[in-house]
Amino acid sequence: MSQFFTVLKIDLSMKYYFGVALAVAGLTFCLYQMFFHPLAKYPSPTLAKFTAARAAYYAWKGDVHLDIWLCHKKYEIRSEAMLLTIAGNDTTSTTLGAALFYLGKNLHAYEKLAGEIRSKFRVVDEIGQDKTLRNCHYLHGCIYESLRMSPPVGSSMWREVGPGGTSIDGEYIPCGYGVGTGIYSIHHNAEYFPRPHDFIPERWLSEKDGFICKEQADIASAAYIPFSAGTRACLGRHLAITELLATIAALVLLYDFRISHTGNGELGSGHALGRNGRTNPGEFQLYDRVTSGKKGPILQLRSRKGN
């Protein structure tokens, strides 16, 4: 009998020590993941680990609460909101500046846009995200043309050459090399966009209202990539267009404006004595700094009575 108790005691002791060792190892692993892992200094993964640990605890108890799922959903909503509004702040302001520059430089486009906006809206409170604003076709054309001429991210979309390599213009490029063409260069290629250095919103309208045929319009649409393309395309492109539509419509309805006639009125323009590619006074000048840096434009505004 005593031998039985001795064996039982040893067996229970082994289970106890094994359980303690397993718990210590698990705790050590969790602490490492939360505080010492290379990604631990970034808050999002750390907070997600705490949430996952809480979810695992309730799952072990057989009591999976809905609030765990809601916590993840709230976190995702906050993350998406920050990404769409903060990350797109600089690029949207660049496009807005470009659009105002081109409208100030091209009186015919400004007058045509003013006629469209002021015929559809009487007061600024009527400007909303409804079909009336969406049906302002010339406004859409002005925004698309501004994005074409002055893309807020105009640098190359780099892609890695796949197995077997590729040939471009007779030049062989091995597998693994990065290749790319600047968005600005594509948008100023006359094969895709006739008169590429002219501000022509009509190129984005229907064949009836525009100046190009349907075949040319299809080519232009395929080459138009201000928000990049594929899986790396800008997530906030629809929000950006919505912001630009509402902002420009409100400005045109509330004010008459023009490029400043003072000494700084040419800020943002190209100059005849500028470097190669910066000699066009009718093109809003951008500077590649991940996104596009800019200077100007400087406008003079006059409030319209009754708005």
Nearest alpha carbon to residue 145 among 207, 198, 108: 198
Mean pLDDT score, 140-144: 95
Residue-wise pLDDT for 254-281, tens only, equals 999 999 888 777 887 877 767 777 888 8
Whether domain 93-303 has CATH 1.10.630.10: the reply is: yes
Mean pLDDT score, 285-304: 83
**Which region among 56-65, 91-100, 167-176 has the lowest average model confidence (pLDDT)?**
56-65
End-to-end CA distance of the chain: 101
Answer yes or no: is pLDDT of 67 > 70. no
Mean pLDDT score, 142-152: 94
213 belongs to an annotated ligand binding site: no
Answer yes or no: is pLDDT of 102 > 80. yes
pLDDT of residue 4: 44
Q: What percent of the chain has pLDDT over 90?
A: 30
**pTM for the full predicted model:** 0.70
Tell me the residue type at 68: I
Q: What gap in Å lies between CA 166 and CA 185, rounded to an integer?
A: 21
